[in-house]
Amino acid sequence: MDRITKVFSKLFFEGICSLGIFILFTFFIQSKLLACSPGSFHADGNKNKKAIALTFDDGPGESSLKVLELLDHYQVKATFFMNGDQVELRPELAKEVLKRGHEIGDHTYSHINFYAYEKKFGLEKTKLKVKEEIQKSRDLIVQATGKSPELCRMPHGYHRAWMKEIAKEFNICLVNWTFGKDWLKISEDRLSKEYLQNLKPGAILLFHDGGRHREKTLNLLPLIIEEAKKRDFSIITVNQILEP
C-alpha cells in the first residue's frame, strides 16, 4: 500500500469514527431532552412508542377508589397528579395509589389559577406563590407516601419559561397533556369520540379523579382502555412514556 493510500485510509477511518461519535452524542442529547429530566417540559410523550399515558388530576377524591378498581381490572398503570389539600384530607388514599403501583405527581397545594394570579399580583409574587404551592404539596405527598414526586403538573396547564428554573430547584419535570376534556359539560358520546380520536402514539390523556360528579369519567375509562388495547397500544405511566 503506497503512502497516499495509507493517508486516505487513515482519514476515512477517522471520519467514520467521528461520525459515529457525533451520532451517539446527538442521540444522547435528544434522549436527555425527551426523558423526564429536572426542568424539562412536556405535553406529549415519545411519539415513536405505540403507547399512551392515562393521567388523573385534583385527587385523591371521592372517585379515586373507583378509578383504582377500574385500572386494577384492566391491569394498567396510570399517573395521578395530586393536590396537597386533598392529600391532607385523604393521606391513606394517596398511599393506596402508590401501593397499587401507580405514579404520583405534584399538582400544587390548592389549585390556584396562576394565569389570573399573575395578572392580579404580578410576576415576582407569582413566582414566590408557585414555589410555596409546589413545596407545600410536595411535603404532604412525601408525608403520606414516603416518596417525593418527580413530576409536576400546574393547575390549568399554567406554564412560563421561568417555570423551568423552579422545576430544576425542586428536581421535577413539568407535564401538561395532549388531550383532555372530561370536566366540560358535553355529552358522553361526544366526549368519547374526541378522546378516541386522540389515541395516538405518545399521547398523554387528562382525566380527573378529584372533585365531585365524575360519572362521565368513570363511564369513559373502560371504553378508552378497551379501545386502546384493541389497537395494540400499551398503557403506561408518564415517566415511562417520556423515555426514549
Lowest mean pLDDT among 1-10, 38-47, 107-116, 169-178: 1-10
Q: Under 8 Å CB-to-CB from 225, ≥6 apart: which residues?
A: 54, 70, 74, 76, 235
Secondary structure element (H or E) that encloses residue 234, with its range: strand 234-236
Q: CATH number of the domain at 38-242, please?
A: 3.20.20.370
pLDDT of residue 29: 37
Asked if 199 and 233 count as a contact pair (C-beta separation under 8 A), the reply is yes
Which 8-state DSSP code applies to residue 42?
E
Residue-wise pLDDT tens digits, 31-51? 444 478 999 999 999 999 999
Residue 52 phi/psi, 5-degree rounding, is -130, 160
| Domain range list for the chain | 1-34, 38-242
How many CA atoms within 13 Å lie on the side-chain side of 183?
14
The pLDDT of residue 70 is above 50: yes
Cα 128 to chain centroid distance, Å, stands at: 23
User: Region 119-132: what's the mean pLDDT?
Assistant: 98
pLDDT of residue 205: 99
In percent, how much of the chain has pLDDT > 90?
Answer: 84
Strand partners, 124: none
pLDDT grade for 212, boundaries at 50, 70 and 90: confident
How many CA atoms within 13 Å lie on the side-chain side of 140?
28
Residue 81 phi/psi, 5-degree rounding, is -95, 110
- Output the DSSP codes for 69-109: HHHHHHT---EEEE-HHHHHH-HHHHHHHHHTT-EEEE--S
- Residues designated catalytic: 57, 208
Q: Under the phi-then-psi rule, with left for phi > 0, alpha for psi from -120 to 50, and beta for the rest, what region is 161?
A: alpha
pLDDT of residue 36: 87
In percent, how much of the chain has pLDDT > 70?
Answer: 86
- Output the DSSP codes for 135-187: HHHHHHHHHHHS---SEE--GGG---TTHHHHHHHTT-EEE--SB--TTSS--
Asked if 61 and 95 count as a contact pair (C-beta separation under 8 A), the reply is no
pLDDT grade for 77, boundaries at 50, 70 and 90: very high
Say whether the peptide bond before residue 222 is cis (omega within 30 degrees of 0). Answer: no
